[in-house]
Structure 1
Amino acid sequence: MIPLKPFAINVVFSEEAFYFYPLEDWRAENIGQMRKKSYGFTSEGEEIFQYTLKSVAGAEIEIITFGARITSCKVPDKNKRFKKVVLGFDSLSDYLKENPYFGAIVGRFGNRIANGTFSLDGKEYSLAQNNGGNHLHGGNKGFDNVIWEVDEANSSSNELKLSYFSYDMEEGYPGNLEVDVTYSLKNDNSLEVSYEAVTDKKTIVNLTQHSYFNLSGNFSEDILGHEVKINADKFLPVDQTQIPTGEIREVENTPFDFRKAKLIGENIEDENEQLKRSFGFDHCWILKKAENTAHFAASSYHKESGRLLEVFTTEPGVQFYSGNFLDGTLPQKGGKGTYTRRSGFCFETQHFPDSPNQRHFPSVELNPGEKFSSKTIFKFSVK
């Protein structure tokens, strides 16, 4: 008779269910008090891991090494009930399929580059035209579709450091680029995302975090009833292919005026050529900012739950996207339905789209010996 192995459990509570973990396995999966577990394998047999960050105030962020993606963000409402507020999937297999960058770190260049071409010092570079005739979010295999390495020695219960080495001419970009992204979950339930990058050859860099938020915690509910505020007097109009025209336009007397908080749905169906071209909001706002400090960029408030999201960044712009192309084909977490149109929104802090081809936009060039550095803070609270 085979003796039974002693067994003990930890019980983890959520608003939805009880979860039981063998105590021995729980301990084995902790790295500096941060929970780590296997999240599955790619078709090439490479193992993907999930890490869970926890704050003293109870927030939980789950991140996987595939695309350095945030797969879950659980924060409280005004009644101290915790729910998940970012769109995502239950399994790795769904992230491996084509999807709209749920929770991912986007690069080497976030947003669009016209015709998939740009020049540096007189040399032209060609990139994938993976968005109509334009280049989008790093190409066919951008940073959202690669495996990031975790620096476990420099990670803890509330901080996770991930790294990726992008080789010279990967997806058409020049230079070997070393990228570090650090997620830090603070005790006030703010998530700080810090980026650093260095190169051995002149290149371009524009990194962003691409989570979709729905502060209601109900992904079957659209986000049109969320209030949004954007700290910007100007935005960038786009052409029919969603490339900036080069014009810098005042938001005053347009649907793009979010200087005072208003509902996303208030003007989204207005008769406006820019709204028609993007099927809603999918534009870059030029932020009013203080140099070299993380300044207020945008906020969103969901009245029923009381959840408030405030975004602070060192970046000059934010792409506010109202989830116009979600179409009901992707499964929700927990098998509760699908993600329908405008069931989530994005605040993508970044440099401007098509910057390499528009010289009056802030530069995205990075030279050897320089360090790219950027920081964005997503602060969750209630009111």
Structure 2
Amino acid sequence: MHEPNQEWYFVERPEGEPTLDCFELREGDVPTPRRGELLVHVRYLSVDPYMRGRMRDSASYAEPWAVGDVLQGGVVGEVVASESPAYEAGDLVTGRATWSEYAVLDADDAAPVDPEIADLPAYLGVLGMPGRTAYFGLLDVGEPRPGETVVVSGAAGAVGSTVGQIAKLNGCRVVGFAGTDEKTSWLTDDLGFDAAINYRTTDAYRAALDEVAPDGVDVYFDNVGGPITDAVFTKLNVDARVAVCGQIAHYNDEEVPTGPRKLPLLIAPRARVQGLLVSDYATRFGAAREQLETWVASGELDHRETVVEGIAKAPDAFLGLFSGDNVGKQVVEVAGPSRGEDHSP
């Protein structure tokens, strides 16, 4: 192909909160797929909080980006050329690729997309990595039991909103923390949460929890950290389980403040705190996807995507994660349908 290909490069390591200076949009050639690969016209790309960790020059569970690398993330796109018998031109797929208009995917790591089940952006959210994170993090780490109280921080994000709904499907009382009245209303009115706390309009988190979770907290799914987590730790019941998925309150800190030591609060309730990485469950992704698709198709699992239009806005969409711009999953619409037709329902 002779079309130009716009790509986003990582050009500067941030100190504290990232800025637009960390990114540079360049024009290159459309890549050529090799054996076992797919050339995909990217329709949507994902921006996710964990990417902030890849901007650091230090080892973590995700390999750090080198300055000068093309940025990478989850994508949904249409196959333009296939060097694999598993897919053909015109197929819709999802996988990991570069932040670019055209990208090469390893066919073995790609998965098909069914627009009859959900719109394409959902495959980067509830039916993608965030949905799987919620599924395994709650069910395997949180182990919710009917009648228990589940508290979710970052509850209006892609992971948290899915966690709360799965907890409701398991017969739990669910309380979510979110940062606007629009978000808390979405949680209670549309997603079925029993209560939601706007953490921006109150800092009396312990008192708020006393009101909406009077019987204490049995499962805490933590996406945020910070003062919210400090407050929840004071409300943990005996045999409580804490699933630590993210700590977005600290991702831009150069030095994480220690504050009061909270570990003594785990002794009396004999609470279990466990971190989770969704990649540990890779052998079970197929089963999780099947269940999540069933819930979405039946209407038992709702979802929402905040779509930022244009590849030029990808860094803005990423930075918006840290100011809470998104409701549900934050995605970037890179391109419309390649052949003048709409694959979405």
Q: Say whether the fold is shared (TM-score over 0.5).
A: no
TM-score range, shorter chain: under 0.3
Where is the helix percentage greater, Structure 1 or Structure 2?
2
The TM-score, its normalising length taken from structure 1, stands at 0.25
- Which one scores higher on RCO, CA 8 angstroms, separation ≥ 6? 2
Where is the strand percentage greater, Structure 1 or Structure 2?
1
The TM-score, its normalising length taken from structure 2, stands at 0.27
